[in-house]
Amino acid sequence: MTLTTSAPATSVVGYDVDGSVAVLTIDNPPVNASSAAVRAGLLSGLDRALSDTGVRAVVVIGAGANFVSGSDLTEFDGPVPEPTLPTVIAAVEASPKPVVAALSGATLGGGLELALGCDARIAHPDTVVGLPEVTLGMIPGAGGTQRPLRILGPARTLEFATSGKRMPVRWAAECGLVDDIAVGPLRAAAVEFAESRAVKRVLQDLPVAADSSSADLEGAAVRVVSAGRGRPQYAAAVAAVVSGMALPARAALAFERSEFTRLRNGSEAAALRHLFFAHRATTKANKPSLPREVDSIGVVGAGTMGAGIARAFVEAGRSVILVDRNPEAATGAVERLRATYDAAVARGRMQRDDAESALLLLSAGRSVTALDGCDLVIEAVFEDMDVKKDLLRRLQRVVPSHATLATNTSYLDVDELATALDRPERLVGMHFFSPAHRAAVLEVVRGEQTSRASLDRALSAAAVLRKLPIVAGVCDGFVGNRIYNAYRRQCELMLEEGAVPAQVDRALVEFGFAMGPFAVSDMSGLDIAWRMRRSRDAVRDPAERYPDVADTLCEMGRFGQKTGAGWYRYPDGSRQPVDDSEVTRLVEQSSARKGIARRPFSDEDIVDRALLSMTNEAALLLAEGIADRPGDVDLMLTSAYGFPRHIGGLGPWVRGQDAADLDRRLADLAAVTGPGFVTADLGVFR
């Protein structure tokens, strides 16, 4: 028999009684984030249960798919409103009646901390748990580095609290974070558990589990700080775990909370929250208006990118036909993927069944006629307008009328490519980044005539691939490469004025970029950008400054790593760059030939000029409507171009500058760059 007493209609935490168990139901859609209202509702419900003499135990459960998916990040820009999560957990621990957490869906961050503050945990079989705070520039602040110490021990706690990973509930049950996995409906199982098995068990009152030696913890600390590239939240997590071993429980919790608050109020956490909300906004804006079938994919071009695109789709469970003008190349790409999977299975990184399932979805076609049943056909052939146009003409005669044609061009004019089609509205740009099966972003290019159906197909494909779709208009390089080209050009201009490649790369890597621009050029191949520059020779203003050292290197056959030399040397097939005095000589000769007096550059000069050039180009893109939102630019740069996430992109960087001083520096940049430089209004980022 169930006795039900409803909470007030405005409450986000419902209250009812099932037998001798009070059930507190959190109902805060869409994902049951912890908010001040939720926390207040939990305290109110707990007080009510304690005063009810017929109640023996309490169950806390989520109304929807999730228990508590984490904290409401909108609360983190100022003082966290009362009651805080530690206050709620302290009340749960002080309760004389046992409290059972019924976990479901994504139980993350503060949601998992709340669960660990309860006396027991039972979970739906599909639950995932995790502590993602480090990915937001913080550490857990309500016991996430403390209560697991009593179950996992120090080394495993540190690794769990700093991985940011979502772990399956079976892992949590095996290591003791979860007491039971429900069989049947979760609420019924949780109520039965609370009635028959629940007892008070306050984790914070237990001793630290001794599952590792001090050497284990030291090794874990070194790995964590190294993997986190020395970012402050990783060092703080190490300190919090050590404090949990050395201090009384209450003092260790206070230390953890103080570190959480310090980091939460810092610029890095603010930058990462900016990216979080930008991601949410872009995901919402770039949903297909009508989801389209993406069941059968055709990929034309079996090179590195085409094979990578094919791999991305088969690993997402979609059927792919890979075609190349050389049929043996397509067959070879399939065999290379088989070898890759065999190696992954041998190393224990992949299950044999998963490998075979993926390979069953991939086939090599002999010609484009094999693509006659595909929903989406993506061309990934040589970056040449005539080559791509010819292919598109042939494809339109083969693929079904409902199918969408996509081009994986990095630079070429999608509107010009569309003129090859009788129905240009069928064409959409789908710019994949390398490696295609792992890159987090997909740049979706809407041409002037791209239909809504074609755009929806590309957006549906992004959803299938679990990639963030960033929609761009048509221009040279779209969003990402246009900004990157402006950045690279300024770095090459700085060489003419007195810098050298190694100094530029070092300054930008120390700032936080994954790689410097000259190392990137060597890795990707200098000939790719060279071809694009040559294609624009006829339309380039002769008055513009044109850095020419890269062209000289290409004329010498120095295309980067693949030829053993580019901006750097790569002796004996190594991928480690070695400074080359020949490049320095070429740079100095270029300066002399152009009458440019060389001057010293500081690292700060280099970083400021590089970021100013990127910001200016991004502001132009936004003004032209090529990019939809400033947040899209920041997501593109941080997810696909190695821009440091702890800065948050160009928007947070601009907002950290004095506006008048920034405008002055931009004017100086325009003056030194000369003709062709268009100054943008940077106010779009403020």
Catalytic site residues?
A: 113, 133
Nearest to 237 by CA among 164, 140, 153: 140
The residue to which tokens 């290591």 are assigned: 175
Q: How far is CA 662 from CA 325, 423, 610, 622, in A?
A: 52, 47, 13, 19
Lay out the sheet containing 468-472: strands in order across: 362-364, 319-323, 296-300, 376-379, 404-407, 427-432, 441-445, 468-472
Q: Residues 464, 470, 474, CA angle at the centre, nearest 5°?
A: 120
Cα–Cα distance for residue pair 576/561, rounded to 1 Å: 9
Q: Which residues in 602-611 are b (16+ Cβ under 10 Å) and which e?
A: eeebbbbbbb
In sequence order, the β-bridge partners of residue 122 are: 102, 180
Is 230 exposed, middle or buried (CB count within 10 Å of its CB: 0-12, 13-18, 19+)?
A: exposed
Contact indicator for 582, 573 with CB cutoff of 8 Å: no
Q: How far is CA 412 from CA 127, 336, 469, 524, in A?
A: 45, 29, 19, 18
Contact indicator for 256, 140 with CB cutoff of 8 Å: yes
Cα–Cα distance for residue pair 485/78, rounded to 1 Å: 38
Question: What is the total residue count of the chain?
Answer: 686
**Rg of the chain (C-alpha set):** 29
Contact indicator for 621, 650 with CB cutoff of 8 Å: no
Cα–Cα distance for residue pair 136/440, rounded to 1 Å: 17
Q: Where are the alpha helices (DSSP H) in 299-437?
A: 304-315, 327-346, 352-360, 385-396, 414-418
> Tokens for 473?
């208009």
Q: How far is CA 89 from CA 84, 202, 241, 528, in A?
A: 9, 10, 19, 58
> Tokens for 33?
């984030």
CB neighbours of 572 closer than 8 A, spacing ≥ 6? none
Nearest to 596 by CA among 668, 493, 489: 493
Contact indicator for 45, 7 with CB cutoff of 8 Å: yes
Please give the torsion angle defined by the CA atoms of residues 551, 621, 272 and 159, in that order, rounded to the nearest 10 degrees. Answer: -40
Cβ neighbours around 264 below 10 Å, total: 22
In three-state secondary structure terms, 34 is strand
Question: Residue 180: phi, psi to the nearest 5?
Answer: -160, 150
The rounded Cα 28 to chain-centroid distance in angstroms is 26
Contact indicator for 634, 479 with CB cutoff of 8 Å: no
Cα–Cα distance for residue pair 289/106, rounded to 1 Å: 26
The rounded Cα 324 to chain-centroid distance in angstroms is 31
